Amino acid sequence: MNYAKNILETIGNTPLVKINKLTEELPCLVLAKYETFNPGNSVKDRMALTMIEDAEADGRLKPGGTIIEGTSGNTGMGLALAAIVKGYKCIFVMADKQSKEKVDMLRAVGAEVVVCPTDVEPTDPRSYYSVSKRLGEETPNSWYVNQYDNPSNTKAHYESTGPEIWKQTEGKITHFVVGVGTGGTISGVGKYLKEQNPDVKIWGIDTYGSVFKKYHETGIFDEKEIYPYVTEGIGEDILPKNVNFDIIDGFTKVTDKDAAVYTQLLAKKEGMFLGNSAGAAIKGLLQLKEHFTKDDVVVVLFHDHGSRYVGKMFNDDWMKKMGYIE
Catalytic residue among 33, 44, 102, 253: 44
Query: Residue 271: its pLDDT value, please?
Result: 98
> Among 128, 150, 141, which Cα is nearest to 66's?
141
SS3 percent helix, strand, coil of the chain, rounded to 5, is: 40, 15, 40
pLDDT at 178 over 90: yes
Do residues 35 and 43 touch, judged by C-beta distance below 8 A?
yes
201 is catalytic: no
CATH of domain 44-144: 3.40.50.1100
CATH 2.60.40.1180 fits 7-37+154-321, yes or no: no
- DSSP calls for 146-196: -TTT-HHHHHHIIIIIHHHHHHHTTT---EEEEE-SSSHHHHHHHHHHHHH
Do residues 49 and 75 touch, judged by C-beta distance below 8 A?
no
What does the pLDDT look like over 303-315, one tens digit per residue?
999 999 999 999 9
What does the pLDDT look like over 80-125, one tens digit per residue?
999 999 999 999 999 888 888 889 999 999 999 999 998 888 889 9
Strand spans (E) along 26-148:
29-34, 66-70, 89-95, 112-116, 142-144
Give the residues across from 31 on adjacent strands: 18, 299
pLDDT at 72 over 90: no
Query: Residue 196: its pLDDT value, please?
Result: 98
Domain pair 7-37+154-321 / 44-144, same fold: yes
DSSP for residue 234:
S
- Kindly list the domain boundaries of the chain, sorted by start residue: 7-37+154-321, 44-144
Q: How far apart are CA 223 and CA 243, in angstroms?
A: 18
What does the pLDDT look like over 191-234, one tens digit per residue?
999 999 999 999 999 999 999 999 999 999 999 999 999 999 99
> Among 230, 166, 168, 223, which Cα is nearest to 200's?
166
